[in-house]
Amino acid sequence: MSTAFDDDGFSSNTDYEMSNVFHLVQNGVDHVIEKGVATWNRESRLKVIGPLFPNKQIGFGGVTFKVGIFLVEPYTMINEKNGNYIGLCISILEELGTQLNFKYSLIRSPDRASGTEQPDGSWNGLVGMTMRNEVNFSIGPFTMTKKREDVVDFTMPYTDEKRGVLVKKEASSSEDAFRIIRPFTVKLWTSLVAVILLVGIVLAVINKLKPDIILNAHEPPDRDDHSLKETLWLIISHYMQQGKLFGTLKHT
């Protein structure tokens, strides 16, 4: 046996082989298996040649779960040709079984319900079956409510469904013509009309007493902008934010 060392004192021809040794029972016979997984030397360094843990099962180890379902299109359905279950939830369950290494047995809800709390505090449907450990878990288009979250755990939602309530449309009546005034009460409308009249009269009086103050400086001086009619129209235009708006008063 001979060896060589480099200038730093390390062995220059050392090779290491790493192996995974595990116990395996096959056909009732115990086996101790050694399998190389990596090599190392100073030139090529670490080289992985196989899985580090070949006997490790990822997921649930192939166990069979009892899964509760109830039929709701398009989430859970039965293929009429072969009798197999199909649908969005079934596809998700199949993918989970593949990724997490488990099998499943589908059990339908006997009352064909997702789960409703009963007067005595118990639950029917799949929620009740899950609570009583009759199934390991359930799949389907469950509506996540506060009461259900108090008794079972939900996964993260994978889809949203918007639902609405249909009601009979009221027959049109003569009151529809006055719908524009419904947001305000009669008292408020009366106050608004009174304010418009009061402000319009005050501005008209001021313009009469001071005729040199023209509401719009770009209009000719003989324009009758200081009349009560024009003043009221100015106030209404500003209030409604529509129509032609006149300029503000000049400084005196």
pLDDT digit string, tens, across residues 222-250 = 555 567 888 888 888 877 776 655 554 44
Is residue 59 over pLDDT 60? yes
| Tokens representing residue 70 in the block | 């109830």
**143 and 87 share a domain?**
yes
Q: Report CA-CA distances (Å) from 223 to 81, 213, 227, 242.
A: 88, 11, 10, 21
* CB-CB contact of 152 with 128 (8 Å): no
Residues 6 or more apart whose CB falls under 8 angstroms from that of 166 comprise none
Q: What are phi and psi of 197, to 5 degrees?
A: -65, -45
Mean per-residue pLDDT, 211-221: 52
**83 and 143 share a domain?**
yes
Mean per-residue pLDDT, 122-138: 93
What predicted TM-score, i.e. pTM, was given to this entire model? 0.46
* CB-CB contact of 140 with 152 (8 Å): no
The verdict on residue 157 lying in a domain is no
The verdict on residue 100 lying in a domain is yes
Q: What are phi and psi of 164, to 5 degrees?
A: -130, 170
Q: State which amino acid sits at residue 111.
A: D
Between 26 and 195, residue with greater pLDDT:
195
**32 and 69 share a domain?**
no
Nearest of 5, 140, 156 to residue 67 by alpha carbon: 140
The verdict on residue 205 lying in a domain is yes
The verdict on residue 5 lying in a domain is no
Q: Tens of pLDDT along 12-24?
A: 667 788 887 777 6
**82 and 139 share a domain?**
yes
**Residue 151's pLDDT is what?**
92
| Tokens representing residue 61 in the block | 């180890």
Radius of gyration of the chain from its Cα atoms, rounded to whole angstroms: 42
**Residue 1's pLDDT is what?**
41
> Which residue, of 97, 126, 149, is where some domain finishes?
149
**76 and 107 share a domain?**
yes
Is residue 197 over pLDDT 80? yes
**Residue 111's pLDDT is what?**
87
The verdict on residue 99 lying in a domain is yes
The verdict on residue 55 lying in a domain is no
Residue range(s) defining the domain that contains residue 210: 180-240
Please tell me the distance from the alpha carbon of residue 67 to that of residue 17, in angstroms, as a whole number. Answer: 46
Between 10 and 45, residue with greater pLDDT:
45
Q: How many domains does the chain have?
A: 3
**139 and 215 share a domain?**
no
**Residue 35's pLDDT is what?**
78
Q: Report CA-CA distances (Å) from 171 to 168, 181, 183.
A: 9, 19, 20
Q: Tens of pLDDT along 35-45?
A: 788 888 877 78
The verdict on residue 227 lying in a domain is yes
